[in-house]
Chain A
Amino acid sequence: MASRSGTCIVVGASSGIGLAIARRLAIGGRKVALVARREKELRAAAALINDSLGRPAASAWVHDVADLDGAEPLFARIEQELGPVDELHYVAGVMPDVAVDEFDLGKDRTQVQVNMLGCIAWCNAAARRFLARKSGCIVGVSSVAQDRGRLGRPVYNASKAGMDTYLEALRNRLWRHGVRVTTIRPGFVETPMTAGLPLKGAISADKAAGLVLRARDGEKAIAYVPGKWRFVMFVIRNIPSFVFRRLSI
């Protein structure tokens, strides 16, 4: 495991897994730039980290990941203020309620922008710098939902699949240059995004964050969080299409 002492950026850090990752990074002594859209929640989250640790470890950077052109300049500003970044976590994601007979381009566009294009914008900004420095790591939080196209959330599945494939390509590009790219595929995790969903056996966001950082430390290419989802998704991936289309999962 490479030693890490630079600044970390966590995109999507105002709640859920992103916030839990940011907290764990800060507890571990890292400087963390929290990036998210909701200003009040974000500033409160950064203030809580600093208050709880009794030292300035976290800073808030308000940004809407759908503003794709804003990623590169914000990355540069963070480096300018906090020093070189050697770790990027892209955790931003949206999963709006979609009825099975609903085809709403507005919702679809938002999901593609936040889940996939935002990831590409931020990872491109990181990759450019990490490649030049021949070090650094990128962690992208995808989803087990990317493994199959399901009737419930077609564009969520597709956007996460796009993100996942992009991260694989990025990994293949950067691995040989000493830059690590890890794809995380979480299963059921208790977060504000999944509030109200019947998720039996869901793990806490903090536990998920612990597993994410363990996968990063182990330089895993792909990690299911928790690990049992690797087996579950293996089964689901191998259900023949003519059977899968008759299922309600």
Chain B
Amino acid sequence: MTGLLWKDEHVGGFGMAMGGRGRVLRPTTEEQIADAFAEVRRTGGSIALRGTGNSYGDAAVSTNGHVLDLSRMNRIHSFDPETGVASVEPGVTVRDLWRCSIAHGFWPKVVSGTMAVSMGGAAAMNIHGKNNFAVGSFGECVKSFDFMLPSGDVVHCTRESDPQLFHAAISGFGMLGCFTRLEIQTKRVHSGRLRVWGIVAKDLEHNLQILEDMRGQADYLVSWLDLHAKGKDLGRGLMHRADQLAAGEDPDGLRFFDPSLQDVPPNLFGVVPKGWLWPGMWCAVHMKQVGLVNWLKFRAGAGEERNSPYLQTHGAFHFLLDYVPRWHWMTKPGGLIQFQPFVPFQHGARVLRQIVERCHGAGHVPYLGVLKRHRPDPFLMTHGLDGYSLAMDFAVSSRRSKRDALWRLCHELADLVLDAGGRFYYAKDAVLLASSFARVHGDAAVATFRSLKERFDPGNLLQTDLSRRLGVVAG
């Protein structure tokens, strides 16, 4: 075993509202992961697995613990240009994958709103995209993986070879072991562009109706919501629908298989570096002008609707969170949390309306809201269900009393969601309590997960602030 260089660092969530000091190691080989497991197991400590650190809350954080940052294990072992199957290390990002695949006419089946997410993190959190209602979650495009158990043993796992481990490791938020290699199926695309429509939705019910009307035909659906609107306008927004193009439909789209043409442009109007924009956004957040910004964006939606449909590259459509680098700094110094409830279809309109109304009532109006349609998936600790999710970004105050009030509001909202049979998504969560864990997944799923945890990780080596908050290991 070689000496491992753990570095004492601040390790935070993407939202900057959660985090703490941790001892961080950035392995570059599978052997180094095994060595790290062995060393920490010997000393009786715990390890949190971390990809590129894009979970908003504390899912990849372990205050005063060890953190294995896998972002340097970022090699693409192979990509088959005929089948579109990639074999990758866990630190390979969505960007790395699509830059490799698009050159051969393939696009990842499921991508997040930012391309910075790692493959290991995507599998552990079982992320979803704007097509969740149609193709399911990230786990459904994983063909196989190599998985290092806390004992240091590596198992190769497919759906067929060990269905229980396959469906628990994916969605298992890093509690059962570490992905060291993943085999991922991408999908054939016939153009480097998508056909996109902007559709103005006048209120929440209209938004939900559009989702229902279009989900049988569209490839991607996502709606931005102006959550500052009240009364009859509550839940208004701008829906984006995108469809893949058929062979021969967009001859010029052939050019856009060049990866460089898929990247989000780095400059505004070709001149202003977008990395300079966050201070302006900071002013909007801290000078209470978010309502005005939302109103302007909603008004601009009418123009987009008139100009629809239009052609847009896959990258430009999917990665809205990458348009403004460091955008989350606009919420400094308190940071942000994202509250993303998943609500069953039959309760969608009622519960989502109540959530937005309670936010208004409490004076905590999210600066951003994103509505999506979902479907169930076969993974053990999944957030997927037949219904809707509403991702709401809250700026967190650095004042303790205001922060506590926001957390209280989120607990109230979580109760509303759980009472309706809803779920939550651990890549985003910052607020759930241990008492909610079984309510999210059901007693049977939690019991199965805990028995797997006991079997594969009896010493509870793998822990995060999230797992401790949720009481994953009872007692």
CA distance A213 to B120 in the complex (A): 42
Q: How many A-B residue pairs have CB under 8 A?
A: 66
Q: Are A44 and B261 in contact (CB under 8 A)?
A: no
What A residues does B104 contact at CB under 8 A? 41, 44-45, 48
- Tell me how far the C-beta of B266 lies from the nearest C-beta in chain A, rounded to whole angstroms: 11
CA distance A44 to B80 in the complex (A): 9
- Contact flag A41-B81 (CB < 8 Å), given A27-B252, A52-B247: yes
CA distance A27 to B131 in the complex (A): 30
Return the contact of B261 from the options A41, A51, A206 (Cβ within 8 A). A206
What A residues does B80 contact at CB under 8 A? 40
Q: Are A23 and B254 in contact (CB under 8 A)?
A: yes
Return the contact of B254 from the options A41, A52, A190, A203 (Cβ within 8 A). A52
Q: Are B105 and A51 in contact (CB under 8 A)?
A: yes
What B residues does A45 contact at CB under 8 A? 81, 104
B253 at the interface (CB under 8 A from A): yes
B309 at the interface (CB under 8 A from A): no
A88 at the interface (CB under 8 A from B): no
Q: Encode contact with B along A31-68: 1 for CB under 8 Å, 0 otherwise.
A: 00000000011011100110111110000000000000
Q: Are A55 and B248 in contact (CB under 8 A)?
A: yes
What B residues does A23 contact at CB under 8 A? 254-255, 257
B126 at the interface (CB under 8 A from A): no
Q: Are B247 and A51 in contact (CB under 8 A)?
A: yes
What B residues does A139 contact at CB under 8 A? none
A182 at the interface (CB under 8 A from B): no
A204 at the interface (CB under 8 A from B): yes
- The B225-284 residues at the A interface (CB cut-off 8 A) are 247-261
Complex: chain B residue closest to A22, CB-CB: B254
Report how many residues on chain B are interfacial, defined by Cβ distance under 8 Å: 24
Q: Are A20 and B248 in contact (CB under 8 A)?
A: no
What A residues does B248 contact at CB under 8 A? 52-55
A26 at the interface (CB under 8 A from B): yes
Q: Are B190 and A51 in contact (CB under 8 A)?
A: yes
A15 at the interface (CB under 8 A from B): yes
Q: Are A40 and B81 in contact (CB under 8 A)?
A: yes
- Tell me how far the C-beta of A57 lies from the nearest C-beta in chain B, rounded to whole angstroms: 9
- The A192-249 residues at the B interface (CB cut-off 8 A) are 203-207
What A residues does B249 contact at CB under 8 A? 54
What B residues does A19 contact at CB under 8 A? 103
- Contact flag A15-B251 (CB < 8 Å), given A40-B81, A52-B191: no
What A residues does B250 contact at CB under 8 A? 52
What B residues does A207 contact at CB under 8 A? 260
Q: Are B190 and A52 in contact (CB under 8 A)?
A: yes
Return the contact of B257 from the options A41, A48, A55, A190 (Cβ within 8 A). A48
Q: Are B255 and A44 in contact (CB under 8 A)?
A: no
Q: Are A206 and B258 in contact (CB under 8 A)?
A: yes
CA distance A24 to B257 in the complex (A): 12
- Contact flag A27-B257 (CB < 8 Å), given A44-B104, A51-B105: no
Taking each of A19, A44, A52, A206, which has the highest tally of chain B beta carbons within 10 Å of its own beta carbon? A52
CA distance A10 to B258 in the complex (A): 17
- Contact flag A52-B105 (CB < 8 Å), given A40-B81, A44-B81, A206-B255: yes
What B residues does A49 contact at CB under 8 A? 254
CA distance A208 to B340 in the complex (A): 44
What B residues does A206 contact at CB under 8 A? 255-256, 258, 260-261
Return the contact of B260 from the options A27, A43, A54, A190 (Cβ within 8 A). A190
- Tell me how far the C-beta of B52 lies from the nearest C-beta in chain A, rounded to whole angstroms: 19
CA distance A190 to B259 in the complex (A): 9
What B residues does A40 contact at CB under 8 A? 80-82
Complex: chain B residue closest to A206, CB-CB: B258
CA distance A207 to B81 in the complex (A): 23
CA distance A190 to B191 in the complex (A): 20
Q: Are B251 and A27 in contact (CB under 8 A)?
A: yes
- Tell me how far the C-beta of B70 lies from the nearest C-beta in chain A, rounded to whole angstroms: 20
Q: Are B82 and A44 in contact (CB under 8 A)?
A: yes
- Tell me how far the C-beta of B449 lies from the nearest C-beta in chain A, rounded to whole angstroms: 41
Complex: chain A residue closest to B84, CB-CB: A44
What B residues does A205 contact at CB under 8 A? 258, 260
Return the contact of A204 from the options B188, B251, B252, B258 (Cβ within 8 A). B258
CA distance A54 to B261 in the complex (A): 22
- Tell me how far the C-beta of A37 lies from the nearest C-beta in chain B, rounded to whole angstroms: 14
What A residues does B251 contact at CB under 8 A? 27, 52-54
- Tell me how far the C-beta of A28 lies from the nearest C-beta in chain B, rounded to whole angstroms: 10
- Tell me how far the C-beta of A24 lies from the nearest C-beta in chain B, rounded to whole angstroms: 7
- Tell me how far the C-beta of B78 lies from the nearest C-beta in chain A, rounded to whole angstroms: 11
Complex: chain B residue closest to A189, CB-CB: B260
What A residues does B82 contact at CB under 8 A? 40, 43-44
CA distance A143 to B24 in the complex (A): 44
What A residues does B256 contact at CB under 8 A? 206
Complex: chain B residue closest to A55, CB-CB: B248
- Tell me how far the C-beta of B424 lies from the nearest C-beta in chain A, rounded to whole angstroms: 39
- Tell me how far the C-beta of A43 lies from the nearest C-beta in chain B, rounded to whole angstroms: 8
Q: Are B254 and A53 in contact (CB under 8 A)?
A: yes
- Tell me how far the C-beta of B152 lies from the nearest C-beta in chain A, rounded to whole angstroms: 32
Q: Are A15 and B103 in contact (CB under 8 A)?
A: yes
Q: Are B81 and A20 in contact (CB under 8 A)?
A: no
- Tell me how far the C-beta of A188 lies from the nearest C-beta in chain B, rounded to whole angstroms: 12
- Tell me how far the C-beta of A12 lies from the nearest C-beta in chain B, rounded to whole angstroms: 15
CA distance A54 to B253 in the complex (A): 12
- Tell me how far the C-beta of B193 lies from the nearest C-beta in chain A, rounded to whole angstroms: 11
What B residues does A204 contact at CB under 8 A? 258, 260-261
Given contacts A44-B82, A44-B105, A52-B191, 7 further A-B contacts (CB under 8 A): A20-B258, A43-B82, A48-B104, A53-B254, A205-B260, A206-B261, A207-B260
10 interchain pairs, CB-CB under 8 A: A20-B255, A23-B255, A45-B104, A51-B247, A52-B105, A52-B251, A52-B254, A54-B247, A206-B260, A207-B260
9 shortest A-B CB distances, which residue pairs? A54-B248, A204-B260, A44-B81, A206-B258, A48-B105, A52-B254, A190-B260, A54-B247, A23-B254
